[in-house]
């Protein structure tokens, strides 16, 4: 995928504010940040609303029919143009993008730089709460965008598959999936708001990109989306996130390596 298919810059978004078919969502981790100020007209993308309420682990993507209903209830139709952003925490916006793309929505982009970039470009903010009217959404799932624990287990000894922990090195050293490597999502961003230029991403990802399939993971499937989206942006289409990530992996007692310093790991 091309960079412009995944990201939108603030200057371009400012020129699209009169687009009646465009829906903007603040995907920040808590609605407190949304309530403090957001792009005019934006609704809040509640990550729990797009997750499986019956699953043991938090933020696991819902089964297809349920997910389609959740997306439609948020006001998103298959014809909507969707923009997602976050306040100071780009991974949550990328996770929102990944959920919608997995569900088959083809016209969704991430505001590079988030709310900070919007304000720097001259965009206004407001505090009024918005919700979009419910719409009909038909899912067309992209199953290759997700990896379950069974695939990860089967891939540990597969040299064609790279399993990549995207948490900081100290977290990786504390506990990680056996056979996985580490490339922190922090290394692919400027601060926590912007993705690096495509050429820089390519350089940082080249050692991983030689593999046929790439599975990224983190603590709970949020930051993992950053690395996976960066691979798509740099031309590697066979990238997935392990949705359960370390919370499921450890919860299920699956094989790990590390120094066992759980206090360091869980605080990352």
CATH number, position 12: 3.40.250.10
In this prediction, residue 268 carries a pLDDT of: 47
The closest alpha carbon to 56, from 220, 216, 178, belongs to 220
Q: What is the mean pLDDT of residues 105-114?
A: 97
Verify that 128 and 199 share a domain, yes or no: no
Query: Does residue 212 carry a pLDDT above 50?
Result: yes
Verify that 129 and 19 share a domain, yes or no: yes
Residue 158 CA to residue 153 CA, distance in Å, equals 10
Q: What is the mean pLDDT of the chain?
A: 95
Residue that terminates a domain, selected from 141, 166, 201: 141
Tokens 């031309």 locate to: 235
Verify that 57 and 180 share a domain, yes or no: no
Q: What is the mean pLDDT of residues 191-213?
A: 96
Q: Which two tokens stand for residue 169?
A: 């090195």
Residue 262 CA to residue 252 CA, distance in Å, equals 16
CA-only gyration radius of the chain, Å: 18
Verify that 31 and 127 share a domain, yes or no: yes
Verify that 112 and 15 share a domain, yes or no: yes
Contact 164, 217 (CB under 8 A): yes
Burial label, 184 (beta-carbon count in 10 A; 0-12, 13-18, 19+): buried
Verify that 218 and 101 share a domain, yes or no: no
Non-local (6+) Cβ contacts of 31 within 8 A are 44, 46
- The predicted-structure confidence for 135-187, as pLDDT tens digits, reads as follows 999 999 999 999 999 999 999 999 999 999 999 999 999 999 999 999 999 99
In this prediction, residue 48 carries a pLDDT of: 92
DSSP characters for 166-213? -S-HHHHHH-EETT-EE--GGGGEETTTEEPPHHHHHHHHHHHHTSSE
Instruction: Give the C-alpha distances (Å, rounded to integers) separating 251 from 56, 166, 246, 261.
Output: 10, 19, 8, 16
Verify that 119 and 176 share a domain, yes or no: no
Residue that terminates a domain, selected from 106, 141, 176: 141
Verify that 249 and 192 share a domain, yes or no: yes
Range of the domain at 54: 3-141
Q: Which two tokens stand for residue 71?
A: 């997306």
Number of compact structural domains in the chain: 2
Query: Does residue 191 carry a pLDDT above 80?
Result: yes
Query: Does residue 262 carry a pLDDT above 90?
Result: no
Instruction: Give the C-alpha distances (Å, rounded to integers) separating 89 from 74, 96, 133, 163, 192.
Output: 22, 12, 27, 24, 5
Verify that 109 and 151 share a domain, yes or no: no
Verify that 150 and 209 share a domain, yes or no: yes
Percent over 90 (pLDDT), the chain: 91
Verify that 172 and 135 share a domain, yes or no: no
Residue 230 CA to residue 185 CA, distance in Å, equals 10
Verify that 124 and 203 share a domain, yes or no: no
Residue that terminates a domain, selected from 120, 141, 162: 141
What length is written for the chain?
268
- The predicted-structure confidence for 22-69, as pLDDT tens digits, reads as follows 999 999 999 999 999 999 999 999 999 999 998 999 889 999 999 999
**pLDDT-based confidence at residue 267 (cuts at 50, 70, 90):** very low
């Amino acid at each position: 995928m091309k960079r412009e298919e995944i990201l939108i810059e603030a200057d371009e978004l400012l020129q699209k504010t009169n687009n009646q078919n465009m829906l903007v969502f603040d995907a920040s981790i808590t609605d407190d940040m949304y309530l403090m100020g957001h792009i005019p007209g934006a609704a809040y993308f509640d990550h729990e609303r797009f997750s499986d309420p019956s699953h043991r682990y938090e933020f696991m993507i819902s089964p297809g029919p349920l997910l389609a209903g959740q997306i439609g209830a948020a006001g998103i139709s298959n014809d909507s143009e969707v923009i997602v952003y976050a306040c100071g925490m780009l991974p949550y916006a990328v996770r929102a993008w990944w959920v919608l793309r997995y569900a088959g929505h083809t016209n969704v982009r991430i505001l590079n730089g988030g709310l900070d970039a919007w304000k720097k470009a001259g965009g206004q903010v407001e505090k009024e709460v918005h919700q979009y009217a419910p719409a009909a959404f038909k899912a067309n799932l992209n199953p290759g965008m997700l990896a379950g624990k069974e695939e990860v287990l089967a891939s540990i000894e597969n040299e064609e598959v790279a399993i990549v922990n995207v948490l900081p090195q100290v977290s990786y050293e504390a506990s990680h999936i056996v056979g996985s490597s580490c490339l922190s999502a922090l290394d692919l961003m400027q601060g926590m708001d912007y993705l690096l230029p495509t050429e820089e991403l390519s350089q940082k990802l080249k050692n991983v990109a030689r593999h046929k399939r790439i599975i990224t993971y983190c603590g709970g499937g949020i930051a993992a989306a950053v690395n996976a989206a960066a691979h798509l942006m740099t031309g590697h289409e066979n990238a997935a996130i392990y949705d359960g990530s370390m919370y499921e992996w450890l919860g299920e007692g699956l094989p790990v390596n590390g120094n066992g310093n759980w206090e360091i790991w869980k605080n990352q």
